[in-house]
Structure 1
């Protein structure tokens, strides 16, 4: 069974559809759902609302292998930090980290320690290298990296022998987020021309390519590191 947040479009939708093509059962969590497939189950949840996340519940997972992918993420307002609303970092952190952490905690409490279980948080190179005007996003993705490393250590200490936690940077992907970045004024984002060049020179990954690379990383490669980049995965 595959549980994925943010499956209405972009990377999350591509990941869900890729798993469905292999006959896997997929549960999608988010506000909107655009997938119609007999193997797909939707759970409505506003991931920016922590109380809504806390009220989530899941069916029995049975004996099949379980994968949880926290893909949902928001960039937040692209502008210099001193100009942002005071709640901006909290909103971005809630969607990008806290909602996924809350769901993971629920699953860990429900799943026996001898069950095969992999979890993925979609991270970003922006969590490893600062980008001006992205303070909220960079902070949230940096937190994702260390959170996943910590959870891996904890679950090993607790005896969860078939558990792996990954923080996976997908590369620069052709999504609506990238379109929003390219539409930002230079007065708010000094590097906007660089991101326009990514699109013009066809340097962006497709969501479908990301989905295939992620599948290979999780199911076909003997990968032991927590911090990963799909740039290192060849198809």
Structure 2
């Protein structure tokens, strides 16, 4: 059996990924701030193994303990074929130019978007170092990691940092006896709640807000289910290059 740990699973790409995994009867572990009744119902209907943890992962001091708890349960299954960690939880706020954002929201974003996946990856690799099964970590990236966007200085910085972390860990793991494969996956613009947050921004804080409104009005936002399907095909069925940054455009 394959085990999947998906963060930020109550909505957007995380929810879409979780629903697809339930259909394939994997053991799914979801971590999110809020419950998702649709996921719970889908798990009951499919008979799949399903675990839900209600946690705010921006509280980084809890992250290591969460990983330890989850992996201690998986370790007892000597029939585990693969263990997958999908670091999907993230936030685009604060959408404000430097000098206008508040300290609390910037700190929360850095913790959730960058520090939390770093800590989860670090503990995952430490605890599974000797596990002789397939081990994969997926960090959800963004096109914002590669270019500056007005008002998105915190988001751009955290995603760029996450990509570099992925590359560095991939280099390290390529030389490990029982390596974990780590990659970043950039999903592009999707029809999610995060896009709603973006479209509601003030133009003085985000000069490109009209562009994102047009994406929505013109039907240019991708369905999260389509993106989730391509991401899962990549990590389950294809040869993955350790430390590589993948983009949805390669698969659509």
Q: TM-score range by the shorter chain?
A: over 0.9
Match of 2:176 in 1: 158
Match of 1:98 in 2: 115
Correspondence 1:127-206 to 2 at 5 A: 127-161=145-179, 163-206=180-223
Per-residue deviation, residues 169-192 of structure 1 (Å, max 9, x unmatched) = 001011111011111121111111
Pick from 66, 86, 100: which aligns with 1:69? 86
Kindly tell me the number of residue pairs found equivalent between the two proteins.
233
Query: Following the alignment from structure 1 to structure 2, what is the Cα–Cα distance between the partners of residues 223 and 67?
Result: 13
Query: Following the alignment from structure 1 to structure 2, what is the Cα–Cα distance between the partners of residues 151 and 89?
Result: 25
Per-residue deviation, residues 81-130 of structure 1 (Å, max 9, x unmatched) = 11111344322111012112222222222222432101100000001111
Query: Following the alignment from structure 1 to structure 2, what is the Cα–Cα distance between the partners of residues 70 and 172?
Result: 18
Query: Following the alignment from structure 1 to structure 2, what is the Cα–Cα distance between the partners of residues 205 and 40?
Result: 27
8 A contact 1:2–1:67 mirrored in 2: yes
Pick from 49, 63, 66: which aligns with 2:59? 49
Query: Following the alignment from structure 1 to structure 2, what is the Cα–Cα distance between the partners of residues 158 and 215?
Result: 24
8 A contact 1:11–1:207 mirrored in 2: yes
Q: Comparing both structures, which one devotes a greater share of its residues to helix?
A: 2
Per-residue deviation, residues 68-89 of structure 1 (Å, max 9, x unmatched) = 0000000112111111113443
Match of 2:95 in 1: 78
Query: Following the alignment from structure 2 to structure 1, what is the Cα–Cα distance between the partners of residues 114 and 206?
Result: 24
The 1:113–1:155 alpha-carbon spacing in structure 2 relative to 1, beyond 3 Å, is farther
Structure 1 length as normaliser, TM-score?
0.94
